[in-house]
Structure 1
Amino acid sequence: MYSISRKSFLAFLLFCAGIKSKLKYCYFSDSEIRTLTRFSEVVLPIHESSMPNLEEANVMRRLDEELYFVSEEIQEDFHSAVMVLEYLPFLYGRFRCFSNMEPEDRISFLETVSDTDSDVVRAVIGNLKLLVCLVYYGHKSTWDSISYPGPFANPPEKWSEARLHYQNLLKGN
């Protein structure tokens, strides 16, 4: 495999990504949502009968909401991480973007890159997996399936000003 610098690699990926269109979400573009959805489908146990699917657990909306309010530097890091995941298969001899691969191929690819020596690749996959799992298992719909009784004393959910602001943005207010 060829050796290229991290800076050149990220510049190439930024070039390949082109211009993003943000239509349905405040933070992620449609192509980023597609990539993260395909990633979540093979990382999360959504195909088990007792587990909720991505829509029931509100995974993509919560990811969008959480990343909308973080600092600009962190936002750009996650945009870059999603882009790296999307185009990474090309560097491993696969001729499809991650989001266009079949589920079995995505699983096989993630198993292949799990043994890589590249800190960048491990960081991208690990951090995206961590964030997706935190959002998925943090939703009430998963708690019964994993035998989690919920927070002590089960207090009512109280939305922060940021969450209320995000909901208003979605409604167009």
Structure 2
Amino acid sequence: MHSISRKAFLSLLLFCAGIKSKIKYFYFSDSEIKTITSFAEVVLPVSEPGMPTLKEASVMRRLDEELYFVSDEIQEDFHSAVMVLEYLPFFYGRFQGFSNLEEKERIRLLELWAETDSDTVRAVVGNLKLLVCLVYYGHKSTWNSISYPGPFANPPEKWSEARLHYQNSLKGNSV
């Protein structure tokens, strides 16, 4: 019997159902998008004058693209980290998930978690922050705002086969 990966099965199922072109993200669920967006809004300077928004810097799209192609172990670790972030406020006396908290409360919790003795909590928050910052500041729209002139000699951007495949999948031109 031939085994098929979960991603391949879901892609085939969606293709057969004729809704592949309506997919917004390939890796993230709607609840994960909400959690990561609410996290990114408080760790990135998106509300500062002159700084691009999450949408302008394509943060969620690039995270989705990058995580779609990594190994299943890394994908599961990231799903787990997002779930921990969403439900961690319950262990700190809050009765809402992270994505449903007010901005000031999210900031207060992140400050509290930065000082916690729990290596796991610090690792979850730190690793999520690292990935979100890498994607945000790696986008050209942020470069002028942080006085970064760009790469030396300004070479043209060269996309990997994985990025090309992802873009074609978004357009419904699966190869």
Shorter-chain TM-score tier: 0.7 to 0.9
Unpaired stretches in structure 1, ≥5 consecutive residues? 1-21
Give the match for residue 123 of structure 2.
Answer: 123
- Runs of 4+, deviation exceeding 4 Å: none
Give the match for residue 87 of structure 1.
Answer: 87
Q: CA deviation at 1:98?
A: 0.2
**How many residues are paired up?**
152
Give the match for residue 55 of structure 1.
Answer: 55
Q: Could you tell me the TM-score, scaled by structure 2's length? A: 0.85
Q: CA deviation at 1:112?
A: 1.3
1:105 to 2:114 alignment: no
Q: Note the alpha carbon deviations across 1:3-60, whole angstroms, 9 max, x for none.
A: xxxxxxxxxxxxxxxxxxx942111111101100000000000111110000000000
Give the match for residue 13 of structure 1.
Answer: none
Q: Distance in 1 between matches of 2:98 and 2:168?
A: 33
Give the match for residue 25 of structure 2.
Answer: 25
Q: Note the alpha carbon deviations across 1:115-172, whole angstroms, 9 max, x for none.
A: 1111110000000000000000000000001010000100111111100100111112
Query: Which residue type is aligned with residue 104 of structure 1?
Result: K
Q: Equivalent residue of 2:154, what SS?
A: coil
Unpaired stretches in structure 2, ≥5 consecutive residues? 1-21
Q: Distance in 1 between matches of 2:94 and 2:144?
A: 39
Give the match for residue 73 of structure 2.
Answer: 73
Q: Distance in 2 between matches of 1:24 and 1:98?
A: 22
1:138 to 2:138 alignment: yes
Query: Which residue type is aligned with residue 44 of structure 2?
Result: L
Q: Distance in 2 between matches of 1:58 and 1:48?
A: 17
For the 8 Å contact 1:47–1:53, the answer to whether it is kept is: yes
Q: CA deviation at 1:103?
A: 0.4
Q: Distance in 2 between matches of 1:134 and 1:164?
A: 20
Q: CA deviation at 1:75?
A: 0.4
Stretch moving more, 112-121 or 84-93: 112-121
Q: Equivalent residue of 1:104, what SS?
A: helix
Q: Equivalent residue of 2:79, what SS?
A: helix
Query: Which residue type is aligned with residue 154 of structure 1?
Result: N
The Cα RMSD (Å) is 1.1
**What percentage of residue pairs aligned between the two structures are identical?**
80
1:37 to 2:37 alignment: yes
Q: Could you tell me the TM-score, scaled by structure 1's length? A: 0.86
Give the match for residue 114 of structure 1.
Answer: 114
Q: Distance in 2 between matches of 1:168 and 1:26?
A: 12
Is the radius of gyration larger for structure 1 or structure 2? Answer: 2
